[in-house]
Structure 1
Amino acid sequence: MLTMTGIGKSFLGVRVLGGVDLTASAGEVHAVVGENGAGKSTLMKILAGVHAPDEGTIEIDGRRVSFGHPLEAQRAGVAIIYQEFNLLPERSVAENVFLGREPVRRGLVDRAAMDAATAKLLSELGEDSFGPREPVKRLSVAQQQVVEIVKALSLEARIVVMDEPTAALAEHEVELLYRLVRRLQQRGIALLYISHRLREVFDLADRVTVLKDGALVATVQTAEVTSDALVRLMVGRDLGTYFPPRADPVADPVGETRLRVSGAGNDRLHDIDLELRAGEIVGVAGLQGSGRSELAKALFGAEPFTRGEMTPVRPRSVREGVAAGIGLVTEDRKAEGLALRQSVRDNALLAARAGGHRGGRDGIRELLERVRLRPPRQEQEVRFLSGGNQQKVVLAKWMTLAPKVLLFDEPTRGVDVGAKAAIHDLMRELAREGTAIMMISSELPELIGMSDRIVVLREGRVAGTLPAGPSEEAIMRLAAGEVVA
């Protein structure tokens, strides 16, 4: 169905793609993987008509095509579902699906026809949890993704690009996406699937194309490659195990208690008992809406506890949390963690300045090297960095304060495997140096691989605590309210 041959692209004299080939067949899921900056997004934007290639050809159904605008790609049957959705929250599902091409009857928008067409597409996808007239702002992230897929189907798309489709989904919502992908396959749609999560690649993809530094490394059958081999193709080296070894309780015993919470709560949390100790990584698991992010914000002082005890400090504001040596790596680094139009250096100094520290500027270069920012250009605006490098700047921001407690909310969401390994190594290093770490993650393998113990939340309460290395089943049973024997 799709053949891209010798695709090349440069921006301002910098070559970002060179001689890349890619094919996709009807009913196939073809994963495109690689580190951030490998050229995946640029290749997909060329297919979608956002960028014109400097060299190479594109054929659909054996006919050569050339797109000067995304609308031309849409008319040729190409749709791209970006990681950040393009939806209007105040409008209904049907209004979003047919935005700009509403059916008209007697000079007026035919809302009945629009609703009926949307309902039919929802039914074909097996989605019955919401209807065509539901305002998009009331939908979960997973449901909004369904709307994006329905929009693509309404355009009669035959080639669909999905860019990090599970990046914002909770673990239990990923199964919904899997079902949708299978239904699209059954309809004969060719799916190009970009993801940093290797488990999804092996669960869904028939083939995998690996890009590195803008060049094609290999295209392989998924069934014929191991995850370790795929990682080597992506990063050019053997990462060994995915997670650094846990602390040795004899050589590196857990230190003093840095935070203790007893019977604490607020509007969203109830009777929280929790202890964070120096040198320990405590994982926090739970389904979406369980109170994971709310717990981090309460400990930090952004949404403080209103009852119960928290010692030795109980911050009532972000400023008090920073002053007490508590840092929070937020779930949404772009909206809450960074000033995107400011430089790397200014972002790295944000926490120090907020905490009233005048020093730190001289050590920024060494700090950026420690977090493995490549290259460590202090004057570059953060918005131009890859997701992994942006996350490293957030880490550097908090490390200027040498925090006693560091809270991570989805620390590796949307970053490539190389950056993940660097962030995991740094977390373990900080723990060895005596930082108390709490890590929230929707990726169960990450929780299991990194945590010294795991606290499971359910409906704003602690459902249970598991020792290091539990099974995924044990975590999910607690998260779903089942008793673990």
Structure 2
Amino acid sequence: MTASTPLLSLKGITKVFPGVRALENVQLDLWPGRVTALIGENGAGKSTLVKVMTGIYQPDAGELLYKAIPISLPNPEAAHKVGITAIHQETVLFDELTVTENIFVGHYLYRGLFKKLDWAAMHQQARDILRRLEVNIDPRAVLKTLSIAQRHMVAIARALSFDAQVVILDEPTAALSQHEILEFYQIVERLKQEGKAILFISHKFDEIFELADHYTILRDGAFVSAGDIAGITEEKMVAMMVGRAITQTYPKVACEPGETVLEVKDLCHPTEFAHISFSLRKGEILGFYGLVGAGRTELMQALCGVTRPASGEIILNGKTAQFRQPADAIEAGIVYVPEERQKQGAIIELPISQNISLPQLKRLNPNGILHDDREWQLAEEYARRLQVKAFSWRQPVETLSGGNQQKVVIGKWLATQPTVIILDEPTKGIDIGSKAAVHQFMSELVSQGLAVIMVSSELPEVMGMADRIIVMHEGLMAAEYGAGKATAENIVSAASGAGQEAA
């Protein structure tokens, strides 16, 4: 194998499911010591292609070549033996096991005639691998005690434990802070130096242009283009990816806010936040920004009845509200689209129609008898309004792309016709086309009089969509800015605790 020969090649890969052609004649090349970015909208076929590469799906046509030799991957174990591993956005690890157990699960080390587990050797190897990654994690620590970033490092260590040669990084930075992202960049560089062929999947163009050497673009399951990253601009990449130019990423519609619908007065929680006071009006988007651990999500959960504050007052439509459980908040008109859409936002094994109708079973089925036609009509209305890409509303949510899963969760809560909708990281892990669709829909919602609270870690999104911005730092309100009165420097400074101010 020469330097110009890919370590892994996919040629003419086609995969068909009932009612949909997920991949058609796709090609992809991965070279040792280089990063190739796989780019495409949600639903473009990226996840299906990764499952073909890792032995979960078998292609209906095409071939895989490893070191220019055709190979077959009938199952994930075969992919592991070849040296192909994937590290996903939703890290698949075991919370109750130790770091060492997670690293070696499925390929434990044994000693002696009776093949006893060699824990000393596994702990030592785990320690050596983590040292190679330059991360300070105790191999004996239980996984659930680690941060999200540390769990990603354990997943990478697991890949290195069986000498993976092809490493697939699927949205690896979606849940990481800026500092953790920079540490991740260094790890990718070390993997390159070790000669690993890396496939990098991300919707963040700054990361793509920072890390990638090559790119491959998919659209609607088909190969569009490939080349060196130095030979393409972001504008050209977006146009090829979505089949059109995204002229306005943040389509904020000018809207005159109406009467106040929500007031929060001196809301406190024993451990998460304190002295939070703000108001929200009809037709307004109120943005919340802060670094990881600022208490934004915890505040939102208190507003919608997931947790109970220790003191303070929530006033909705002029009346004091007390929510003992989320159902109380939903009944009152406050709904919450959580950051963790797969774990908290949807029952992914159920179909789209049942997810959208779930909060309204009592209204749709007043006699306790299920009316499938009513559920179907509700799903039809809101899934179409949000442009969910699916071949049927009976399709399980788990089979949808991340962006379409997010649209289902948003549609579920919009169908309840709320007064206030809280969107916690509404565009996390979704592509630029889907982001533009969500932003457009947010503008439509406020133009219709809905009040929106948007929590986001993406500074351009907050500045582009919010009418007012509240910045949190360590559970406190650090600053509040009116529309167009905040600079990126002001916001980041306040979020990092460098003084409090209001504008």
* TM class, shorter-length: over 0.9
**Inter-CA distance 181–9: structure 2 relative to 1 (3 Å threshold):** same
Structure 1 counterpart of 2:307? 303
Matched, 1:126 2:134: yes
Looking at structure 1, the residues matched to 211 and 487 of structure 2 have their Cα atoms a distance apart, in angstroms, of 22
Residue type matched to 1:109 in 2? L
Q: CA deviation at 1:266?
A: 1.7
The residue correspondences of 1:143-292 to structure 2 (distance < 5 A) are 143-247=150-254, 252-267=255-270, 268-292=272-296
Looking at structure 2, the residues matched to 348 and 7 of structure 1 have their Cα atoms a distance apart, in angstroms, of 34
Secondary structure at the counterpart of residue 321 of structure 2: coil
Q: Which shifted more, 195-204 or 264-273?
A: 195-204
Structure 2 counterpart of 1:480? 496
Matched, 1:340 2:348: yes
**Inter-CA distance 364–77: structure 2 relative to 1 (3 Å threshold):** closer
Q: CA deviation at 1:341?
A: 3.8
Preserved CA contact (<8 Å) 2:23 2:222 = yes
Preserved CA contact (<8 Å) 1:369 1:376 = no
The residue correspondences of 1:392-411 to structure 2 (distance < 5 A) are 392-411=407-426
Secondary structure at the counterpart of residue 167 of structure 2: strand
Secondary structure at the counterpart of residue 168 of structure 1: coil
Match of 1:423 among 420, 428, 438: 438
Matched, 1:79 2:85: yes
Preserved CA contact (<8 Å) 1:326 1:404 = yes
Secondary structure at the counterpart of residue 68 of structure 1: coil
Q: CA deviation at 1:163?
A: 1.1
Residue type matched to 2:130 in 1? L
Structure 2 counterpart of 1:103? 109
Secondary structure at the counterpart of residue 245 of structure 1: coil
Preserved CA contact (<8 Å) 1:368 1:396 = yes
Preserved CA contact (<8 Å) 1:328 1:409 = yes
**Inter-CA distance 471–111: structure 2 relative to 1 (3 Å threshold):** farther
Q: CA deviation at 1:201?
A: 1.3
Residue type matched to 1:477 in 2? S
Looking at structure 2, the residues matched to 309 and 355 of structure 1 have their Cα atoms a distance apart, in angstroms, of 30
Looking at structure 2, the residues matched to 57 and 292 of structure 1 have their Cα atoms a distance apart, in angstroms, of 47
Structure 1 counterpart of 2:12? 6
Q: Given the two structures, how large is their TM-score scaled by the length of structure 1?
A: 0.92
Looking at structure 1, the residues matched to 152 and 96 of structure 2 have their Cα atoms a distance apart, in angstroms, of 16
Structure 2 counterpart of 1:65? 71
Structure 1 counterpart of 2:406? 391
Q: CA deviation at 1:304?
A: 2.6
Match of 2:125 among 117, 132, 138: 117
Structure 2 counterpart of 1:46? 52
Preserved CA contact (<8 Å) 1:254 1:279 = yes
Secondary structure at the counterpart of residue 349 of structure 1: helix
Q: CA deviation at 1:315?
A: 3.1
**Inter-CA distance 363–66: structure 2 relative to 1 (3 Å threshold):** closer
Looking at structure 1, the residues matched to 436 and 283 of structure 2 have their Cα atoms a distance apart, in angstroms, of 19
Preserved CA contact (<8 Å) 1:171 1:442 = no
Deviations 1:357-413 (A, max 9, x none): 969865653333322234584444333333222222222222223222110011112
Residue type matched to 1:261 in 2? V
Deviations 1:92-149 (A, max 9, x none): 1112111232222334322222111111111111112x22111111111110000010
The residue correspondences of 1:24-43 to structure 2 (distance < 5 A) are 24-43=30-49
Structure 2 counterpart of 1:327? 335
Looking at structure 2, the residues matched to 154 and 257 of structure 1 have their Cα atoms a distance apart, in angstroms, of 57
Matched, 1:447 2:451: no
**Inter-CA distance 375–95: structure 2 relative to 1 (3 Å threshold):** closer
Structure 2 residue runs of 5 or longer lacking an equivalent are 1-6
Tell me the number of residue pairs that the alignment of Structure 1 and Structure 2 aligns. Answer: 480
Preserved CA contact (<8 Å) 1:477 1:484 = no
Secondary structure at the counterpart of residue 64 of structure 1: strand
Q: CA deviation at 1:353?
A: 4.1
Preserved CA contact (<8 Å) 2:20 2:391 = no
Preserved CA contact (<8 Å) 2:357 2:378 = no
Residue type matched to 1:479 in 2? A
Looking at structure 2, the residues matched to 354 and 424 of structure 1 have their Cα atoms a distance apart, in angstroms, of 31
Q: Which shifted more, 200-209 or 313-322?
A: 313-322
Structure 1 counterpart of 2:27? 21
Preserved CA contact (<8 Å) 2:170 2:201 = yes
Secondary structure at the counterpart of residue 156 of structure 1: coil
**Inter-CA distance 210–425: structure 2 relative to 1 (3 Å threshold):** same
Secondary structure at the counterpart of residue 301 of structure 1: coil
**Inter-CA distance 289–484: structure 2 relative to 1 (3 Å threshold):** closer
Q: Given the two structures, how large is their TM-score scaled by the length of structure 2?
A: 0.89
Structure 1 counterpart of 2:477? 462
